[in-house]
Amino acid sequence: MPWWSHQGEDTPIYTGRVATCQCSSRDMTGAPETARPMSGHGKQQQLLRHPALAAGHGSGSGMGRRRYLAFLAIAAALVASYHLLHAPTPSSRYHALFLTLGSNASAAAHLRALTLRPHVAGTPANALAAEYVRATLSSLSFPTRVTPYSVLLSYPLHRSLSLSAPGRATKSFSLTQDTYPNDPYAEAAAEVVPTYFAYSGSGSVTAEVVYANYGDRKDYAYLASRGVDVAGKVVLARYGDIHCEDMVRNARDAGAAATIIYTDAKDFGGPAGKGKRKWFPNTRWLPPSGVQMGTLYYGNGDPTTPMWPSCAAGEDCERLSTEELEASEAMPGIPALPVSGRDGETIQKAMGGGVAPPEWQGGEGAPVYRIGPGPAVLNLTYIGNDTLATIENVFAVIEGKEEPDRYVIIGNHRDAWTFGAVDPNSGTAAMLEVAERLSQLEKKGWRPRRTIIVCSWDAEEFALIGSTEWAEDNIDMLASRAVAYLNVDISVFGPGGLMPRATPQLDELIKEASKMVPDPDDPSHTLYDYMIRQNPPIARVAGAGTDFAAFVQHIGVPSLDMSYGLFSEYPVYHSLYDDFVWMERFGDPLFHRHVALASVWGLIALRLADDEIIPFNYVPYASELEESSKVVEDGCPGCAVSFSPLHKSIKQLEKAATKIHMEKKVLQAEKWGLNTRERTLKVREMNDRLMMAERAFTNREGLAGRPWYKHMIYASSDQDDWGTKAFPGIVSAMANAQKLNTTESWRLLQHEIYRGARAVSKASAVLDGSLT
């Protein structure tokens, strides 16, 4: 019996509202009955009255251009899918039909419903969001399931921050984000969690301030070169280079007693036209009171269950003790707070010491930045509440007809620091849009060859917790059955085109699918046309910033993540202002970017689920590794190590990848003269090789010092949790050897080169399909 149909006390099928949902006269989103999303004609009429979607909205050439673009988008979609509609295979005709079923009204309705209230993980509001997703998927006649876990989440109990300096009155900061004029969510904004960093150390610190730019290691090296000692001080750093957990970790390692991180107007406040900036709701830019929240846990999953899965409340599972957690290097260990650009600038004005270098300075109108220490003194207190709370992953399953034991998994996380209109619920809306289209295909007679699993993850913002716990819980099943994991965290940032990142065997499929979808901002071209002009067109899934991490970096499942637009177009990230108004004004006024992203996402899933032979091509993988290995080697000129084992293994991979690619073409051309049974067995054997090759890149011991990361080719950098590094074990060992320059450090570098080479050789053997 498949896992999704199993029923028992420990794994119930959820058919009603979650226990915490007290809806009464409100719907599952907590909205009054008059604001409920309607179905059928009622929903369409409601959305047509919405200002961003109404046909009569706007005037003059702007509205005419919108109508023209909409017309072009429809026409281009029909043209792009023409050859699929006339393709010889029934699945291709269903794929073409899928591309015609997009609905910007549906995407807008889902996003509006999901973002009526802030919904941080572990709260009743997020339980309501989970129920909305479950009910929507269930209404499509898909079997649905909710899997709960009891995990360690982190919330603020008390925060205070004050500034004192000679000749200045003591300044106490409010640590609040201001609502904006005519904010339709002003009442709900009162539910937003106070600005904080999850898992921050608790305590009180009073000390002089040192300014550390973007908080990178090189910034601390520069401070040391200027004779500035960070030990015992409060570090002031700004967002913009690395993620907050790395910034606080670097400050701690430098000896700082606490850290303050702010959003500098230079990076998030927009241009200062005529000396004055404009911000949301008038422009897309972050208001002066905006604060970017985040997590400081330097790991993935429930902090109390590293390397193994958590369990539901009331069940018994092994957990780290409080003492073990406090002693863990993964915890920040020092108090830290995020503050606004306005507060950061106030602190900067009170700083003394040497003038910071030009690249450390603020934008137009900012005070002169100085590095300190002092004479500004900050008094910071943070008391956190790290507590076990229940999170809920929501699933829907479309069972495969021919290969139900092969899983194509699509996922998005649901929890948000605030309203989450961009991060993550633009992705949730697109995922529900995909599910609705698949339901319509089912009604037309389609059934996937392989099983499709739709996943709504919880507690991603805290440490990728929901996806990680489920992946760890099902690791052996996934290792033997998962074809691919297709993630969309944020579907739309704004303008900028399709931005995918993936393991390289998916490159060809992404390109083919993107050629079938018109670019919503320029329907005379396809998503492919913009994507291919980028460098690189397809990035790699190496950072740990979202839910693909457990699948590719822990298990070795081919994975992708994609979005539309540029992150730089989204300055309200993780702040109060990430709401529906921002999305409808700046992110995607017509919701056509949501539809385009859903189209390419769903089409890739359909190809992986329906194609007789899994559409992987490992030839680009070999080319990518060859290029990456040269970049790594160039970083160590004259080193007393040999990279020849790595280059030799990559040549083996190239040979094996070419071999199976040719075998695939021969089998598809029916040139082997196989009978039906022989062909079925050959297809299954080839698909197993294609599916399992990615697993071979993993190593059971994991990366040195980071055993959770099993993938030898792609993982986050040990200096930047979101950074992209190929051959991360080699890169880390190289940096260590260059720093220490000892015989042992160079020996360990050579060892890591051999480890990487063995992983590539293992993948080659799997693709080759024959024993030594």
Active site residues: 460
Cβ atoms < 10 Å from Cβ of 252: 22
- C-beta separation of 706 from 718 below 8 A: yes
Show the CA angle centred on residue 713, arms to residues 712 and 717, nearest 5°: 90
Q: Take residue 379 and report the two structure tokens written for it.
A: 């008094």
- C-beta separation of 591 from 107 below 8 A: yes
- Secondary structure class of 653 (helix, strand, coil): helix
Q: Following CA atoms 612, 693, 396, 3 in sequence, which dihedral angle do they give, to the nearest 10 degrees? A: 100
CB burial class (10 A; 0-12, 13-18, 19+) of residue 55?
exposed
- C-beta separation of 456 from 246 below 8 A: no
Q: Mutual orientation of helices 425-443 and 124-139 as an angle, nearest 10°?
A: 20
Number of helices and strands in the chain (H, E): 25, 18
* C-alpha–C-alpha distance, residues 91 and 611, integer Å: 8
Q: Take residue 345 and report the two structure tokens written for it.
A: 């600038």
Q: Following CA atoms 672, 678, 684, 690 in sequence, which dihedral angle do they give, to the nearest 10 degrees? A: -20
* C-alpha–C-alpha distance, residues 679 and 667, integer Å: 8
Q: Following CA atoms 483, 489, 492, 495 in sequence, which dihedral angle do they give, to the nearest 10 degrees? A: -90
* C-alpha–C-alpha distance, residues 320 and 696, integer Å: 31
Range list of β-strands (E), 112-233: 144-165, 168-172, 197-198, 203-211
- Secondary structure class of 631 (helix, strand, coil): helix
Collect all residues with Cβ–Cβ distance below 8 Å to 743 and sequence separation of at least 6: none
Q: Fill in the amino acid letter for 376.
A: A
Cβ atoms < 10 Å from Cβ of 311: 20
- Using left for φ > 0, alpha for ψ between -120 and 50, and beta otherwise, residue 314 falls in left
CB burial class (10 A; 0-12, 13-18, 19+) of residue 24?
exposed
Q: Take residue 224 and report the two structure tokens written for it.
A: 């040391």
Q: Identify the sign of the CA torsion 42, 48, 50, 53.
A: positive
